[in-house]
Amino acid sequence: MSWLFPIYLAGAAAIIAPILLHLRRRPPQDRVEFSTLMFLDASTPVPVSKRRLENWLLLLLRCLALILLALMFARPFLQSESATSSSADQATLILLDRSASMRRDDLSKRGLAEVERLFKAAKITDRIALAVFDRELTPVWSFEEDRNTPANRSAALQSRLAMLAPTWSGTQLDRALIAAVPSFDASTAKLKKRIHLITDLQEGTHLDALRTIAWPAELTLHVHRLDPVTNDNFAVALAARDEEGNADALIRIRLSNTRDSALRDFTLAWDKAPQTDSITAQIPPGASRILNAPPNSTNRATTLTLTGDKYDFDNRLFIAPPQPRAVRIHFLGDEATRDEAAAPLYYLARALQPTATLAPVLTAGKAMPAQKPDVLVISGATPSAGMHAALRDFVSAGGFLVEVASSSADAALLQTLTGIPGITVKDGDANDDYRMLADVKTEHPLLKPFGDPKLRDFTKLRFWKHRQIEVKDAGNKLETLASFDNGHPAILSARIGKGTLIVLASGWQPSDSQLALSTKFVPLLYGWLAAAGFSHDPAATLLVGEDLPLDAASACIITEPGGKTHSLEAGESFTTTGIGLYKVQSASHTQIFAVNLPPDEGRVLPLAPQKLAEYGIKLSSGADSGAAGESTDERLTATDTEQRQQSWWYILLILLAVLLLETWFAGRTRQNTLAAVWELSCLLAHRLSTALASTEMCWLQENHGRKCVNDLANR
Amino acid sequence: MSTATSFLDPAALMRIKSLELRAKVVVEGLWKGMHRSPYHGFSVEFSEYRAYVQGDDPRYIDWKVLARSDRTYIKKFEDETNLRCQLVIDHSKSMGFGSLGYTKADYAATLAATLASFLMKQGDAAGLTTFAEGIEEHLPPRNRPGHLRRIIAELERPAKAAGTSLALSVGQLADLLRKRGMICLITDLLAPVEHLEKQLALLSAMGHDLVLFHLMDRAEIDFTFEKSAHFRDAETGAERFIDPQLVRENYLKRLQAHRDTIQVAADRHNVEYHFCPTDQPLEEVLFNFLSARQRKKASKSAAARVAG
């Protein structure tokens, strides 16, 4: 039996109080009316103490209650289990941080040295394992390997440690710890389990997921925090794009300084750029500022570098250069009409302006170009019947065809393209002044730009002329995206083979409608281009550890910032591991992705190890060397054992029972029934002794009889 | 005691609320038994003649005797020959003590009512005097219809005085009772005997026939208390802390001395002394009283014969 707080046992000395109280004679408070005092002596002095204890049973109960109270506060537990476990072998898992922040100073080297020290300190009967973590946990030396070859663990470790280096990932300690808990397998079940965490425990470490698990009671965590020379640090990260300000060229960055930092002055400049394209300013300690990047006059620089602090692991920001994707659009019509204000080509050429991500190249001609275009637009002139098959092949092979029905002759083309014989085209009713759009399916991918309710106002869009397209037995091949207010389809679409066909019942040129002059025209066109796979969205900035957004349909070659290339088959994914620019070459085009350090990694102020305790993790002292550490360790073990056994709870129950009994007895004593209890016990004792005596008599008689029988038999 | 079983338990008797009924129960029981008793009551006086002397009321001359024997005799009147008994009851606070469920005052009232009832039943006159610090109420002895009821009504009145001044009260009584008769003093006698003795001597000298009923509760006689407590004097209100186990012996000794003194004083002044614990059946008290009267009368007449 051991005690967690033996000092409380001194409280048991309080039993002296009830003993003294029982010895003390309380002057009787009773008053008796008597006829006369003439025969009674003068008052005899009340003695302060009695010569013998009265109500000894009550006293016993009271003393017992006090002793139990003292015992309860002393928190007893059985040492045996704890003793065996403390003398037993240990199963130790070392978690080594290799996130980008470990690149500071010699943290990485110190971490490795700590690992080596722990390995050397482990006994041959101990089980020891090593895993490194950044975004995720990577086992280096498992318990399984350790159990199989415990002797050469040091040699094996040396070779594996040599391969370990800090990565560019963020620190997700929560995921690492959650993954580390199951790594204690069945072979370590009877060992004392602990995790040695070697990390810089920076502020940017992710811990939230720890709330989702219940930390095993038998597992303790030792934190070995590695502190660099200084925590002063600037960090730079890409800020969210300003949605309101439509300035594509401006890059907004977030710059922050650590709390209590001595640094203030910083310089932000593009690599390989003139000195004039830099910003030199001040940022106070603990502040975070969003500022526009310095002008990139050459437009070729891709790396924004921050200088002014000691650690440069988080000082570079990679920004992919503008890389508009070329989209070849062929207008099947007369090239000469490009500058005629009444011609559809005129408006198309002006609407398709190059943007940061798209570079549309519009060609025009009455014949199909030699190089297959991405998008084909037919408006005004109906292609000859000989071209119908070629057009169908174009669409089936994945082309994007926009066809404006201009006359009843277009019906044949549509029939060929869609394979629906029941399509007829005729001129719409011209009696009315104009038609408007009704029933626009804005949820359709081809009309995605109008998904925003603010942009759904089509009332200013008027159609002077339109063709009435009637479709019979279409099944679900042809879909109506928008209709005129007389119910006739205005925009139709169909998926043909791999490609897409869009049919408009009215042209956009002013002779047909106001579409080209309205605000809807350009979004409509770019929406179609986006649907055709030419995304208008700028490429999102990636962080280390994220997958590159690859086109699942085609194979590609990826060139890492270091120059290493990877060939990927279609459908494979690629996870970024370093910062820099990744070049992705696919059959159709080449893309460059900028991959940056996770912004949280730049928050390098160290956390207190106790922070982990807030997540329910059982911590032991970080400094586990020296007698003080050991004693604290033992203390923690004792606490664990005591908490597991919870003996005080049982003592409390007994204490309550004793107190109830005491209350009952105190009540009974007043009624003078203690004497009755005594008499009863005397009676019982008497009965018992009588019974014993009679049993003895029987036994004697039996023995005597047996003796007589024996004698007779002997004779 | 074999007779004790045949008597009414005082506790049972005291449960009868009406004092009159209580007295009746006792008297009836005894009256019936008396016919089998060898004793005759003191009131069975032999009425006698005496020679007429000048000045006697001629109305009382027995004309028949005069006619037969030519001698004038005076017939002795019954009222002269009958007993005049004055019941004197102590109404002090100390009489309010009782450990048996009823108090000494209850017992005294019942005893007095019984005596009055008995006396009046056989034609004697009974009166009542209550006293505490002095005489409280005084009813002269009479034997008229309704007088018993007055006595009982008086007895039923609760005591109000605090202390006892036995000597003073007895002194006052001596002034009130001019005619000779019997005085039954019913008290717990919790007062110094010295002063009382003087008054008793006076009453005795006045020719009164004194009977002293000394009532005591069983708790007073044996001092049966166990626990230490503050004992409060019922009369003076004084408090004293007493451990009964320590003082019992001394108490009993003193009480015995007190009783001895009373006995001696009673003997000296020819007072008939009855010690009555309140758990003693009333019939027994009455019976003892009658027996004592009978013996006294017998001894008196014997003494008279010896003297004559």
B43 found inside a domain: no
- Read off the pLDDT of residues A8-56 as tens digits, 9 standing for 90 and up: 889 888 888 888 888 776 666 678 888 888 888 765 555 555 556 667 8
| A467: nearest Cα among A430, A415, A414 | A430
Helical packing angle, B147-156 and B104-121, nearest 10°:
180
> Cβ B94–A39 below 8 Å, yes or no?
no
Residue count (chain B): 308
Q: Does one domain contain both B59 and B204?
A: no
B162 found inside a domain: yes
In angstroms, rounded to a whole number, what is the distance separating the alpha carbons of residues A161 and A117? 13
Name the residue facing B229 among A32, A35, A36 (closest C-beta).
Answer: A32
> Cβ A35–B234 below 8 Å, yes or no?
yes
Are B170 and B201 within 8 A, CB to CB? Answer: no
A vs B, Cβ pairs < 8 A, gives: 78
Mutate to test the interface with A, among B214, B240, B250, B251 (most CBs of A within 10 A): B240
- Read off the pLDDT of residues A135-191 as tens digits, 9 standing for 90 and up: 889 999 888 888 888 777 888 888 888 888 899 999 999 999 999 988 888 778 888
Instruction: Please tell me which residue, A170 or A587, carries the higher pLDDT value.
Output: A170
Share of chain A above pLDDT 70, in %: 84
The neighbouring-strand residues paired with A268 are A279, A306
- A39 touching chain B per CB within 8 A: yes
Q: What is the pLDDT of residue A312?
A: 85
> Cβ A35–B227 below 8 Å, yes or no?
no
Q: What is the pLDDT of residue B91?
A: 86
Q: What is the pLDDT of residue B181?
A: 85
In angstroms, rounded to a whole number, what is the distance separating the alpha carbons of residues A437 and A451? 16
> Cβ A39–B232 below 8 Å, yes or no?
no
> Cβ A33–B217 below 8 Å, yes or no?
no
Residue in B with minimal Cα distance to A35: B94
Q: What is the pLDDT of residue B46?
A: 40
Q: Does one domain contain both B32 and B99?
A: yes
- A430 touching chain B per CB within 8 A: no
Which positions in chain B touch A39 (Cβ < 8 Å)? Answer: 250-251, 254-255, 258
Chain B 87-146, residues with CB within 8 Å of chain A CB atoms:
94-97, 104
Is beta strand A90-97 parallel, antiparallel or unpaired with respect to B229-233? Answer: unpaired
> Cβ A35–B97 below 8 Å, yes or no?
yes
B163 found inside a domain: yes
Residues 6+ apart with CB under 8 A from A1: A76, A77, A78, A79
**Is the domain A234-319 a CATH 2.60.40 member?**
yes
The neighbouring-strand residues paired with B210 are B183
Q: Does residue A653 register a pLDDT over 90?
A: yes
In angstroms, rounded to a whole number, what is the distance separating the alpha carbons of residues B282 and B111? 7
Residue A301 corresponds to which amino acid? A
- Read off the pLDDT of residues A322-347 as tens digits, 9 standing for 90 and up: 777 788 899 988 888 888 888 899 99
> Cβ A37–B233 below 8 Å, yes or no?
yes
Q: Does residue B258 register a pLDDT over 80?
A: yes
Q: Does residue A81 register a pLDDT over 50?
A: no
Measure in Å the smallest separation between the Cα of A673 and chain B Cα atoms.
16
Ranking A101-105, A382-386, A507-511, A657-661 by mean pLDDT, the lowest is A382-386
Which positions in chain B touch A38 (Cβ < 8 Å)? Answer: 190, 192
pTM over 0.80, yes/no: no
Domain limits, chain A: 2-77+646-670, 82-228+604-644, 234-319, 325-531, 542-599
Q: Does one domain contain both B227 and B146?
A: yes
Are A602 and A231 within 8 A, CB to CB? Answer: no
Q: Give the H/E segment covering residue B233.
A: strand B229-233
| A502: nearest Cα among A478, A485, A522, A521 | A478
Q: What is the pLDDT of residue B260?
A: 92
Q: What is the pLDDT of residue A67?
A: 92
B88 found inside a domain: yes
Q: What angle do CA A615, A616, A621 make, to 5 degrees?
A: 100
DSSP code per residue over A318-370 = E-PPP-PEEEEEEEES-GGGGG-TTSHHHHHHHH----SSEEEEEEEESS--S
- A27 touching chain B per CB within 8 A: yes
Q: Does one domain contain both B297 and B161?
A: yes
Q: Average pLDDT in the A458-462 region? A: 88
Q: Output the CA–CA distances (angstroms, integers) from residue A48 to A22, A42, A105, in the order listed.
A: 11, 18, 79
- B226 touching chain A per CB within 8 A: no
Which positions in chain A touch B241 (Cβ < 8 Å)? Answer: 27-28, 43-44, 46
What SS3 state is found at A35? coil
DSSP type of residue A518: S
Name the residue facing A39 among B241, B246, B251 (closest C-beta).
Answer: B251
B1 found inside a domain: no
Q: What is the pLDDT of residue A70?
A: 92
Token digits of residue A198: 């070697």
> Cβ A39–B97 below 8 Å, yes or no?
no
Token digits of residue B147: 């007088």
| A325-531, CATH topology level | Rossmann fold (3.40.50)
Are B272 and B296 within 8 A, CB to CB? Answer: yes
> Cβ B232–A43 below 8 Å, yes or no?
no
- Read off the pLDDT of residues A288-306 as tens digits, 9 standing for 90 and up: 988 888 877 766 667 888 8
- Read off the pLDDT of residues A194-210 as tens digits, 9 standing for 90 and up: 899 999 999 889 999 99
Torsions phi, psi for A553 (to 5 deg): -85, -20
> Cβ B94–A35 below 8 Å, yes or no?
yes
In angstroms, rounded to a whole number, what is the distance separating the alpha carbons of residues A413 and A687? 122
Token digits of residue A297: 């006059």
Name the residue facing A38 among B190, B229, B230 (closest C-beta).
Answer: B190
Is beta strand B182-187 parallel, antiparallel or unpaired with respect to B84-90? Answer: parallel
Measure in Å the smallest separation between the Cα of B308 and chain A Cα atoms.
48
Are B64 and B85 within 8 A, CB to CB? Answer: no
Residues 6+ apart with CB under 8 A from A495: A477, A501
Residue A366: how many other CB atoms lie within 10 Å: 13
Q: What is the pLDDT of residue A151?
A: 77
In angstroms, rounded to a whole number, what is the distance separating the alpha carbons of residues A684 and A679? 8
| A501: nearest Cα among A409, A416, A434 | A416
Q: What is the pLDDT of residue B41?
A: 36
Are B69 and B49 within 8 A, CB to CB? Answer: no
Instruction: Please tell me which residue, B120 or A244, carries the higher pLDDT value.
Output: B120
- Read off the pLDDT of residues A392-409 as tens digits, 9 standing for 90 and up: 889 998 889 999 988 888
Name the residue facing A31 among B190, B220, B230 (closest C-beta).
Answer: B230
CA A200 to chain centre: 20
- Read off the pLDDT of residues B64-119 as tens digits, 9 standing for 90 and up: 888 999 988 887 654 444 678 899 998 888 888 888 888 898 899 989 998 888 88
Are A551 and A325 within 8 A, CB to CB? Answer: no
Domain count, chain B: 2
CA A618 to chain centre: 21
Give alpha helix (H) positions in chain B: 2-6, 10-14, 19-34, 63-69, 78-81, 104-121, 147-156, 166-176, 193-205, 218-222, 244-268, 282-307
DSSP type of residue A249: S
Q: Average pLDDT in the A645-669 region? A: 88
Q: Does one domain contain both B119 and B231?
A: yes
B3 found inside a domain: no
Kindly report the CATH number assigned to the domain that includes residue B100. Answer: 3.40.50.410
> Cβ B243–A34 below 8 Å, yes or no?
no
- B52 touching chain A per CB within 8 A: no
Measure in Å the smallest separation between the Cα of B249 and chain A Cα atoms.
10
Token digits of residue B175: 């002034």
Output the average pLDDT for chain A.
Answer: 82
Which positions in chain B touch A54 (Cβ < 8 Å)? Answer: none
Which positions in chain B touch A36 (Cβ < 8 Å)? Answer: 94, 190, 233-235
Q: Does residue A712 register a pLDDT over 60?
A: no
Are A661 and A677 within 8 A, CB to CB? Answer: no
Q: What is the pLDDT of residue B301?
A: 67
Instruction: Please tell me which residue, A548 or B14, carries the higher pLDDT value.
Output: A548
Q: Does one domain contain both B61 and B114?
A: no
Are A130 and A168 within 8 A, CB to CB? Answer: no
Q: Does residue A628 register a pLDDT over 50?
A: no
Confidence band of A693 (pLDDT split at 50, 70, 90): low
In angstroms, rounded to a whole number, what is the distance separating the alpha carbons of residues B47 and B77? 8
Q: Give the H/E segment covering residue A665.
A: helix A647-670
Q: What is the pLDDT of residue A377?
A: 92
Which positions in chain A touch B195 (Cβ < 8 Å)? Answer: none
Which structural domain, as residue segments, surrounds residue B152? 8-38+82-307
Are A398 and A499 within 8 A, CB to CB? Answer: yes
Q: Does one domain contain both B65 and B131?
A: no
Instruction: Please tell me which residue, B271 or B40, carries the higher pLDDT value.
Output: B271
Is beta strand A375-378 parallel, antiparallel or unpaired with respect to A489-496? Answer: unpaired
B2 found inside a domain: no
Measure in Å the smallest separation between the Cα of A19 and chain B Cα atoms.
22
In angstroms, rounded to a whole number, what is the distance separating the alpha carbons of residues B200 and B166? 10
Confirm whether A234-319 and A325-531 share one CATH topology.
Answer: no
In angstroms, rounded to a whole number, what is the distance separating the alpha carbons of residues B289 and B112? 13
- A675 touching chain B per CB within 8 A: no
Share of chain A above pLDDT 90, in %: 15
Highest-confidence range of A36-45, A69-78, A532-541, by mean pLDDT?
A: A69-78
Q: What is the pLDDT of residue A408?
A: 83
Are A445 and A531 within 8 A, CB to CB? Answer: yes
Q: Does one domain contain both B196 and B57?
A: no
> Cβ B234–A39 below 8 Å, yes or no?
no
Buried b (16+ CB within 10 A) or exposed e, A326-361: ebbbbbbbeeebbeeeebbbbbbbebbeeeebbbbe
Residue in A with minimal Cα distance to B215: A35
Confidence band of B6 (pLDDT split at 50, 70, 90): low
Which positions in chain A touch B254 (Cβ < 8 Å)? Answer: 39
Q: What angle do CA A315, A316, A319 make, to 5 degrees?
A: 150
Measure in Å the smallest separation between the Cα of A38 and chain B Cα atoms.
8
Q: What is the pLDDT of residue A347?
A: 92
Q: Average pLDDT in the A298-319 region? A: 84
Q: Does one domain contain both B121 and B63?
A: no
Output the average pLDDT for chain B.
Answer: 80
Are A191 and A127 within 8 A, CB to CB? Answer: yes
ipTM of this complex: 0.75
A82-228+604-644: CATH number: 3.40.50.410
> Cβ A40–B229 below 8 Å, yes or no?
no
Q: No. of H helices and E strands in chain A?
A: 15, 32
In angstroms, rounded to a whole number, what is the distance separating the alpha carbons of residues A579 and B62? 163
Are A365 and A371 within 8 A, CB to CB? Answer: no
Instruction: Please tell me which residue, A627 or A599, carries the higher pLDDT value.
Output: A599
Q: Output the CA–CA distances (angstroms, integers) from residue A200 to A100, A231, A606, B44, in the order listed.
A: 11, 11, 7, 129
- A214 touching chain B per CB within 8 A: no
Q: Does residue A690 register a pLDDT over 60?
A: no
In angstroms, rounded to a whole number, what is the distance separating the alpha carbons of residues A274 and A298? 9
Residues 6+ apart with CB under 8 A from A293: A250, A251, A252, A253, A268, A270, A304, A319
The neighbouring-strand residues paired with B216 are B277
Which positions in chain A touch B250 (Cβ < 8 Å)? Answer: 39, 41
In angstroms, rounded to a whole number, what is the distance separating the alpha carbons of residues B103 and A483? 119
The neighbouring-strand residues paired with A279 are A268
Measure in Å the smallest separation between the Cα of B195 and chain A Cα atoms.
15
Q: What is the pLDDT of residue A178?
A: 92
- Read off the pLDDT of residues B196-238 as tens digits, 9 standing for 90 and up: 788 888 888 888 888 999 999 988 888 888 877 888 888 888 8
Ranking A378-382, A470-474, B299-303 by mean pLDDT, the lowest is B299-303
Residue in A with minimal Cα distance to B188: A35
Name the residue facing A30 among B230, B238, B254 (closest C-beta).
Answer: B230
DSSP type of residue A653: H
| A318: nearest Cα among A602, A582, A591 | A582
B138 found inside a domain: yes
Long-range contacts of A429-434, Cβ-Cβ distance < 8 Å, separation of 24 or more: A429/A468, A429/A486, A430/A465, A432/A486, A433/A464, A434/A462, A434/A463, A434/A464
DSSP type of residue A445: G
Measure in Å the smallest separation between the Cα of A675 and chain B Cα atoms.
15
Q: What is the pLDDT of residue A28?
A: 64
> Cβ A40–B190 below 8 Å, yes or no?
no
Q: Does one domain contain both B65 and B145?
A: no
Instruction: Please tell me which residue, A575 or B81, carries the higher pLDDT value.
Output: A575
Confidence band of A97 (pLDDT split at 50, 70, 90): very high
Q: What is the pLDDT of residue A707?
A: 58
Instruction: Please tell me which residue, B154 or A532, carries the higher pLDDT value.
Output: B154
